Amino acid sequence: MLVEEVPKTSSSNSSTIYFTSSINLSARSVHRGGATGDEDSVGSNKKGRAKVNYNVNLLMNAQTQINDESNTGPLKSAQQVQLERLVSRRLVELNKESATASFEIPKNFAYNSIHSNSNKSRLGQTPTTKRILAARRNLNSYFEEERNLMSINTILGVNFQFIDFAEVEAAPKIKRAKVDKIYRPRLRLCCICGSQSHYSRCSNCGLYYCSVQCNNIHMESRCT
Amino acid sequence: MSKQHLVIDNGAYNIKAGFNTGEDSDVRPTKVQNALTKTKDGAIHVGNQYQAQTNNYSGIVFRRAYDQGNLTSWETEKPVWDYTFDELSPKKIFDPSITHLTLIESPFQLPQLSTNTDQIVFEEYGFNEYYRCTPASLVPWVDFGNKSNNDFMLVIDSGFTATWIVPVIYKSVHWEGVRKLPVAGKVLNGLLRELISYRHYDITDEPILINTIKEETCFIAQDFYKALNSRQKLQCEFVLPDFKTTTTGYVRKPKDTISPDAQLLRLMDERFSVPEAYYHPEIITLVQNTPLKNLTDLVVESIMACPEVARPLLSANISLVGGSTSLPNFKSRLLSELTKELPSDWLVKVVEAKGVERDEVSWRGGINLTNDDVISDITISKKEYFEHGSNWCQKQFGFKNV
C-alpha cells in the first residue's frame, strides 16, 4: 500500500494530518519538525523505506504561497499574513526620520577630498564598482534578484516574531511548568492622553481610549 | 611604509572609525554621521559637515545609505566614507593599499549587498587586507575585567535600526540563537515624533530635535504601571530651541529662569511610554493587540536555542552594546525582567567594560582583535580576492543559514 491513512489517535495533532505515503520521497513536509509532533512518523517503516507525512493544510499553503517571499515560517493563516503586512508597513512609517521624503542626490554632486587637486572625481574604478555606485536601487529590487531563497527566508524570518496564538490558547490546559510562554497582558494605552485604558476601544478604528472625554476628542480629531 | 590597522564600525546612525595606534588603550574612534544631509537652503552636506552651522539644524533632511538595516545605497555611502578618511588623516593622503580594514556590519545582510561592499572595498578603494564581521562577534575581545567569561557571551545590541540578541560562544556567533527586535533608536524617535506632534507642536520635520529630546528626557521605567500613575511627579519641561539662546533645546532645571517668549514642552508619560516599546512592542502598532514578542521573550528564546550547558553561562555574561542601551535604567529593567523569566538558580548578570562607551564596545573589540595574532588567519588579502572572487569572499564572512 503506497498511501495509507493515519489513524486518528496516532498523534495529538493528527487532525491536520490525513495521509502518509512511501512514494515521492522528494516531497518534504513544509514545516519545521517538532511543532506538531510528526517527527516520529517521518522515520522508516517496516520495509526500511522512509515514510512521508502529507499534511494537507501545509501542502495547500505551500502551493498557494509558493511565490510569496514573505512566507517564512511554518504555517500562516491569512489573518497572520495580513497582520504581518500591517506591522511591517507601520514599522516603515515609524522608521522615517522626517515627514518629507528623502531627497535624491543631484547628478553633479560629488565629494572632493581635501587632498585631491582635481575637481573631477571618477565614479567607479572598475565596471563592477561603477555599476554599484550608479545603482540607485531600493531594497526590494535587491530582494527580488536574490536567488538563494534560503537566505531570504532567514533574513525575513528573523525580522519580527509573534507570540504563537495556539500556544497562548493551549496554555491553560497544559500544566504551567511545561509552557514556555506565559500569557502576558497587553499594554493598552489611551490614544489621546496616554494613560492606561480600561475601556473598550473605538468601534470605528480600533484605537483605545480611557474616558468619555478622550473618546469625544478622539471622535472629533483622530478617528479616521 | 608600515602596515596600519583601521577599524570601521559602519553603523546606520554614525560611523565609528579609527586606527589601531598601539599601546594607548584610551583612544576613541572618530564618529561621523552616516548620512548625506540637505539643509533648508538646499545645500547638501556630507557626514558631520552640517554641524558647522547650527542654524542648519532646523528643517534638515537626512539621506542614509541604509534601508531597513541593509546597506543598499553605495552612492550615498561612498562620499561619507571619503569624508571619514579625510577626517581620519587630515595631514596626509590616506593610503588604502597599506591598510588592513576591519569592517563591522549588521548581522543578516542580504548576501548580494555584502558582496557589493566587498567589491567596493577591494576594487574601488583597493584595501590591502580585509576582514568583515558582525558587531556582536567582536564584543568578547573587549576586556570586561576578570569576573567575566568571554567564551560565553550574550550580546544585546540596540542601535539605530534594530535590536539584535546574539549569543557568542567561543568567540563565534551561534547563528541559531540570533534574534531581532524591530524596536530601536529610530522607531523610538518615530513614536516620540507622533506623540509630540499630536499633543504639543508639530515637529515632524525636525529629526535632530526629536533625537535630542529623546536623549535628554526619555528613560525606561522600572515599573511601568507605577510610573504611569505618578506621571505628574515625573514630568519635566523641555525648552525648545529659539536659535538665539539655545540651538538644540535643553531640559529646564527648577531654578532656571527663561525668557517669557520661550516655548516649552511639558513631557509626562511620553518620557517612559515611548521606550516601553522594548517590553510592550504592541504599542507601536495602531491596532494595539498585535502579539509581538518583546525583548525578554526574545532573550529567553535566544538563550534556549543554545546548547544546554552554555545557557546559564550566557545569562551570567550579558553585555549591552549600542547607543540605545544608554537609555537610563535599561540595564536594571532588563535584569529584573530576565530574573523573572529564567530559572531561579541561574545568575543573571550584565558585564560592563570599564571606560568604554556602550556604542563603542564593538569598535574597541575590533581594535583588540587587530592586536591579536589570529587576525592574520582570518583576513582576506587583495591578492586572494582577485584570485577567488567576491562570492568566495562572502562565503568566508557571511552568515550561515539556519
The answer to whether residue A60 is domain-embedded is yes
Distance between CA B361 and CA B28 in Å, rounded? 11
Distance between CA B400 and CA B137 in Å, rounded? 14
Q: Residues A181, A185, A190, A193: is their CA dihedral positive or negative? A: negative
Nearest CB neighbour to A158, from listed B75, B83, B178: B178
Question: A42, A64, A86 — which closes off a domain?
Answer: A64
Q: Residues A91, A97, A100, A106: is their CA dihedral positive or negative? A: negative
Q: Do B70 and A126 touch (CB under 8 A)?
A: no
The single-letter DSSP state of residue B285 is S
**From start to end of B287-379, where are the E strands?**
318-321, 350-351
CB atoms within 10 A of CB B198: 12
Lowest mean pLDDT among A152-156, A169-173, B378-382: A169-173
The answer to whether residue A9 is domain-embedded is yes
Question: A64, A81, A104 — which closes off a domain?
Answer: A64
Residue A174 reports pLDDT greater than 50? no
Q: Where in chain B is the domain with CATH 3.30.420.40?
A: 4-133+372-397, 139-183+290-351
| % of chain A exceeding 70 in pLDDT | 49
Which structural domain range is residue A40 located in?
Answer: 3-64
pLDDT score at A118 = 53
**From start to end of B149-307, where are the E strands?**
152-158, 163-169, 172-173, 179-181, 236-239, 250-251, 264-267
CATH H superfamily, domain B139-183+290-351: ATPase, nucleotide binding domain (3.30.420.40)
- Radius of gyration of chain B measured on its C-alpha atoms: 22
> Is A77 in CB contact (< 8 Å) with chain B?
no
Q: Do B123 and A165 touch (CB under 8 A)?
A: no
Q: What is the block-wise mean pLDDT of chain B (402 residues), using blocks of 10 residues?
A: 84 89 76 88 85 78 86 88 88 86 88 88 89 90 80 91 92 88 90 88 87 91 89 87 82 79 85 90 73 86 90 91 91 92 90 85 89 86 88 79 56
Residue among B75, B66, B79, B52 nearest B106 (CA):
B66
Nearest CB neighbour to B74, from listed A99, A132, A184: A132
The answer to whether residue A82 is domain-embedded is no
Nearest CB neighbour to B289, from listed A99, A111, A186: A186
The answer to whether residue A12 is domain-embedded is yes
Q: Which amino acid is at B120?
A: I
Residue A199 reports pLDDT greater than 70? no
CATH H superfamily, domain B185-277: ATPase, substrate binding domain, subdomain 4 (3.90.640.10)
Burial class of B59 by CB neighbour count within 10 A (0 to 12, 13 to 18, 19+): middle
Q: Where in chain B is the domain with CATH 3.90.640.10?
A: 185-277
The answer to whether residue A155 is domain-embedded is no
pLDDT score at B114 = 87
The answer to whether residue A21 is domain-embedded is yes
* Sheet of strand B250-251: strand arrangement: B250-251, B236-239, B264-267
> Is A216 in CB contact (< 8 Å) with chain B?
no
pLDDT score at A51 = 54
Higher pLDDT, B54 or A54: B54
Distance between CA B169 and CA B175 in Å, rounded? 10
Which of B272, B290, B302 best probes binding to A when mutated, by most A CB atoms within 10 angstroms? B290
> Is A109 in CB contact (< 8 Å) with chain B?
yes
Range A62-74 average pLDDT:
48
Do B288 and A187 contact (CB within 8 A), yes or no? yes
Question: A64, A81, A109 — which closes off a domain?
Answer: A64
The string of pLDDT tens digits covering residues B250-304 is: 888 877 777 777 888 888 888 999 999 999 888 887 665 677 888 988 999 899 9
The answer to whether residue A146 is domain-embedded is no
> Is B46 in CB contact (< 8 Å) with chain A?
yes
Residue among A125, A47, A177 nearest B96 (CA):
A125
The answer to whether residue A74 is domain-embedded is no
Total count of domains within chain A: 2
Residue A58 reports pLDDT greater than 60? no
Higher pLDDT, B332 or A25: B332
Q: Going by C-beta distance under 8 Å and a sequence separation of 6 or more, which residues neighbour residue A9?
A: none
> Is A136 in CB contact (< 8 Å) with chain B?
yes
CATH H superfamily, domain B4-133+372-397: ATPase, nucleotide binding domain (3.30.420.40)
The string of pLDDT tens digits covering residues B2-25 is: 788 899 999 888 899 988 887 666
Lowest mean pLDDT among A14-28, A188-202, B178-192, B242-256: A14-28
From residue A133, give the alpha-carbon distance in Å to each of A128, B5, B73, B279, B400.
9, 26, 8, 40, 27
Write down the ipTM of this complex. 0.82
Beta bridge partners of A208: A201
